[in-house]
Amino acid sequence: MKNLKIKILLLAALLAASQLAVAQPKVGIDGFVRNYTGMLYENGDFNMLQNTLNLNFNLMGDKMALKANPMLYLYGIDSLDFRMREIYLDLYFKSVDIRVGKQQIVWGKADGVFITDIVSPLNLTEFLLPDFDEIRIGVYAAKIDYYFGNSTLEAIWKPIYAGNELPPPGSIWYKPPEFPAPPTFDYSKEKIKPSLDNSEFYLKYSLSSSAIDFDIMGAYTWDQTPSMYIEKQIEFDSLGNPILTGLLITPEHHRLWVGGGSFTSTVKSFVIRGEAAYYNGKYFQTADPKAEGALVEKDYIHYVVGLDYGVGDLTLSAQFIQKVIFNYDDYLDEEHYANTMTFLARYEAMRQTLHLELFSYIGLNYGDALIRPTVVYDFSDSFSIKLGANIFVGDERGMFGRYDDNSMIYMKFKYNF
């Protein structure tokens, strides 16, 4: 209820401010309609029958702007999912911009990986397959940017917690964990009440210069995916031997301190990028019998280095990503070093009306991969067709190989207006 009140107040503030601040605003409406059909090529099932309407309403004046981005997803014939992806008000001052409302906030220099880019949580209900602007979930936040010289100081207050959305049971992307005994879930601790105490705070300094662009960030936030506190339920047989009869699992979020930064620079035809963050307060699942709730707190570092190269109509890009857990022990459920690479090759043909792309994630620990070839043809300035495949290969223990039953081909028709 309190959550709802805050949302209503924010919306009311947006509307009231828009009435007060608009002087000869420019009004714009644009968006797209898209049809998306996907088929699993293992069994021919249509795993995706989706029609989408995306609308962007913009009201822009010299000292303010208002944006609303409702999005409608129609699955199958009548399963409708409405999302207000963004609705916010901008106020512009000489050296300060303020944005309040529901907004997507994107940080960092890496592509397709989320290291310092932790303000907006992710919609992972279809794994990493949707376009990146659709993966991010808008957050209720107040954001202030202060500009001085080539520098920007950005502060964010997020009063309402939003976590990653995970695939629900029944989804082809849901992989239930294996338990040694029947689990019972207690969701009483999963919700985080909106309050000042539970707010999240983010701060970033960034510099954009001829030689280099870089930023340094810090955050006091919540882990966007809950840890599973596991309590064993034990009974004793007639001989007095303990028997594991069940597990009580309590999902719970923990506070995280995060510090990091990113940079990008150019050398001739190359663009060099890097991004790293240190996470303090993360709880990992462990098999250590001495660990309370099968959880243990460890710090870790997550970083990426990348190189882009462009020549003519060809663009090539590669990134190496590593996650390292400190004070590692063998009881942990995760690898000590998790190594991943991404590759991108993109070619523009026919006066940039035919776009060929090959993007892939490669898990180096288990030799698994997600390979994503696409061909897009622009029939006109507004209308395009996309043919693509999502190919999962490799060891099923890897985060990509585990979905090897979900390899699919798909087609998207898109009309922009």
Partner 1 sequence: MKTLKITLATAVILLAGGLANRMTAQQLTGREIIEKVYNLPTGEDQTSDLTMTLINKSGSERVRKIKQFTRDFGNVEKSIMFFTAPADVKNTSFMNWSYDSDKPDDQWIYLPALKKVKRISSDSKSDYFMGSDFTYDDLGDRKVDDDTHKLLREETIDGVDYYVVESIPKDEDYMYSKTVTWIRKDNFIGLKKEFYDEDGELLKILKIKKFEEISGFLVITHSEMENVQKNHRTKMELDNIKINTGISASKFTERMMMRGI
| Paired sense of beta strands 383-393 and 200-208, if any | unpaired
105 is written with which tokens?
A: 């906030």
Q: Count the Cβ atoms, other than its own, within 10 Å of residue 304.
A: 27
Q: Output 237 or 381, the one with its CB closest to partner 1.
A: 381
Q: Output 336 or 386, the one with its CB closest to partner 1.
A: 386
Q: Please, what is the minimum distance in Å from the beta carbon of residue 45 to partner 1?
A: 29
Q: Output 17 or 324, the one with its CB closest to partner 1.
A: 17
3-state secondary structure of 95: coil
Q: Output 402 or 414, the one with its CB closest to partner 1.
A: 414
Q: Please, what is the minimum distance in Å from the beta carbon of residue 124 to partner 1?
A: 18
Q: Using CA atoms, how far apart are residues 145 and 143, in angstroms rounded to an integer?
A: 7
| Paired sense of beta strands 26-40 and 242-252, if any | unpaired
219 is written with which tokens?
A: 């955050």
Q: Output 330 or 381, the one with its CB closest to partner 1.
A: 381
Q: Using CA atoms, how far apart are residues 311 and 289, in angstroms rounded to an integer?
A: 56
| Paired sense of beta strands 151-158 and 200-208, if any | antiparallel
Q: Please, what is the minimum distance in Å from the beta carbon of residue 48 to partner 1?
A: 20
Contact 164, 173 (CB under 8 A): no
Q: Please, what is the minimum distance in Å from the beta carbon of residue 254 to partner 1?
A: 28
Q: Please, what is the minimum distance in Å from the beta carbon of residue 389 to partner 1?
A: 21
234 is written with which tokens?
A: 């034990």
Which residues of the chain form contacts with partner 1 (CB under 8 A)? 30, 32, 60, 65, 90, 92, 97, 104-109, 131-133, 136, 145, 147, 150, 152, 208, 210, 213, 264-266, 268-271, 308-313, 348, 351-353, 378, 380-382, 384, 416-417
Q: Output 208 or 327, the one with its CB closest to partner 1.
A: 208
Dihedral angle over CA of 187, 189, 190, 196, nearest 10: 150
List beta partners, residue 165.
123
Q: Please, what is the minimum distance in Å from the beta carbon of residue 401 to partner 1?
A: 28
Q: Output 145 or 329, the one with its CB closest to partner 1.
A: 145
30 is written with which tokens?
A: 């644009």
Q: Please, what is the minimum distance in Å from the beta carbon of residue 205 to partner 1?
A: 14
Q: Which of 30, 7, 32 is nearest to 87 (CA)?
A: 7
